[in-house]
Amino acid sequence: MLETQPRSTVRTIVASFLFTDLVGFSKGTAAEQYAAKASFSAALRRHLAPLKESDYWIKDTGDGALIAFVSNPEHALYMALALAHDYAAPTGGGEAPAASLRTGLHLGTVKESIDVEARRNFIGDGINAAKRIMDFALPGQMAASRSFFEAIANLDAAYAALFRHVGASDDKHGRAHELYELAPSDTVLERLRADVIAEAADAAPASGAAAEPAARPAAGAAAAPTPTARRFLLLGLALAVGLAAIFAFLRMREGAPISGTAAIDGAGASSSPTAAPKGESTARPSAGAAPPSSAQPRSDSAPSQPASLAPAAAAPRAEVTERPPVEVSLPAATPAPQKPAADLRVRTPARAAPSSGTMASEPSSPHCSRILEKAALGEPLTSDEKKELANTCR
């Protein structure tokens, strides 16, 4: 038969189990049970605090607890001796008496499962045998199986000295168990407690170093870009360089300067792409002179220059038109009436139109300058502008 769906993986582990309960717990009143359980739970939390949560698994059994130590069997020995020390001390104030606690220790195998409350659980012979070992223990006694004894005794001679073989006994199902009695020892307990604390101290820097890279970007340093982000960044840079190269090539092919049309003449005077009306021009200050102010009118002795002088200075370059500049004699300028600099306008003398009927312009008039500028920039010309460019605007 061919399976079409994969089966879920069931993990099998080997763990050291500690099964303990409070003897006579159910015979007490509700107040006595509450006090006994609170004291027992506080002792468990206090001794389990140095361990990592991944080192053990604990389950409440009502009148006791089942703890599976999955990383180190010494943790089970430490917990058994710590609980025995707490319950062997004189108690008072409603706490559980010393003879109310019994403990069983066993090393066995179990399988992971999910219980009816959707929580992690273990099932298997390891838990069943630990429960039977605890049942053999007397109130105030700690019993251990042979498998747990052999795992612990080979680690340290001081551990082996705590165990005493008491023989074999059958459980209620007829299964024989070799039992060992574990004697309490404050000396071994302090050694184990120091080892547990040292393990926690060694694990703290490792966890802090692992968390340091995640916290470093929040401290202010920018996080390194991911490979995908680097690819997009390189693609964007390549696209920007390509567009810049295409734009420069087109500008060079048109024959116009990349910086614009503001520096056509060699003297540094700028001309606006929007031409003034024919026969009129607005006077503009030179590049180095201060701008005129309406509060300081110009002197009467300084005659106004005709508007045709500015276009004459802005003659087209030889490499654009491939024609030599034409010298033009202009009529004498007449002084203009004194006006504020912002409203100063002069009119160029008009020329008679030629008999052919086409509009003629002076070579240095603003109209010719506009035609020459359009020709230099490669803009389309009308038929009249082409005739004027060929006959008059030279």
Which residues, 6+ apart, have CB-to-CB distance to 319 below 8 Å? 255
Band (pLDDT 50/70/90 cuts) for residue 44 is very high
C-alpha 109/C-alpha 111 separation (Å) is 7
Does 79 have pLDDT greater than 80?
yes
3 state SS of 32: helix
C-alpha 74/C-alpha 351 separation (Å) is 117
* Percent of all residues in the chain with a pLDDT value above 70, rounded to a whole number: 61
Q: Alpha helices, DSSP H only, in the chain?
A: 30-48, 73-88, 125-136, 146-153, 157-160, 186-215, 227-254, 309-313, 318-321, 366-377, 383-391
C-alpha 215/C-alpha 223 separation (Å) is 10
Residue given tokens 């300084």 in the structure block = 302
**Between 244 and 269, the higher pLDDT residue:** 244
pLDDT at 201: 84
pLDDT at 239: 87
**Between 147 and 360, the higher pLDDT residue:** 147
Q: Give 366-375 pLDDT, tens digit per residue.
A: 788 888 888 8
The partner residues of 338 in beta bridges, in order of sequence, read: none
Residue 174 region, left (φ>0) first, then alpha (ψ -120 to 50), else beta?
left
pLDDT at 359: 45
Neighbours of 206 (CB within 10 A): 9
For residues 40, 45, 48, 53, the Cα torsion angle rounded to the nearest 10 degrees is: 130
Q: Is the pTM of this model over 0.75?
A: no
Does 287 have pLDDT greater than 50?
no
Q: Which CATH number is correct for 12-207, 3.30.2350.10, 2.40.70.10, 3.30.465.10, 3.30.70.1230? A: 3.30.70.1230
Structure tokens at 152: 């612990």
Q: Give 97-112 pLDDT, tens digit per residue.
A: 545 899 999 999 999 8
| φ and ψ of 112, to 5 deg | -75, 145
pLDDT at 306: 43
Q: What does each C-alpha distance from 209 to 113, 197, 212, 214, 218 come to in angstroms?
A: 33, 19, 5, 10, 15
Encode 214-238: b = buried (16+ Cβ within 10 Å), e = exposed: eeeeeeeeeeeeeeeeeeeeeeeee
Please report, for the chain, the start and end positions of each structural domain, with discontinuous segments joined by +: 12-207, 258-281+302-328+356-394
Band (pLDDT 50/70/90 cuts) for residue 387 is confident
Band (pLDDT 50/70/90 cuts) for residue 194 is very high
The answer to whether the CB of 338 falls within 8 A of the CB of 296 is no
Pick from 190-194, 199-203, 218-222, 250-254: least confident:
218-222
Q: Give 134-188 pLDDT, tens digit per residue.
A: 999 999 999 999 999 999 999 999 999 999 999 998 888 889 999 999 999 999 9
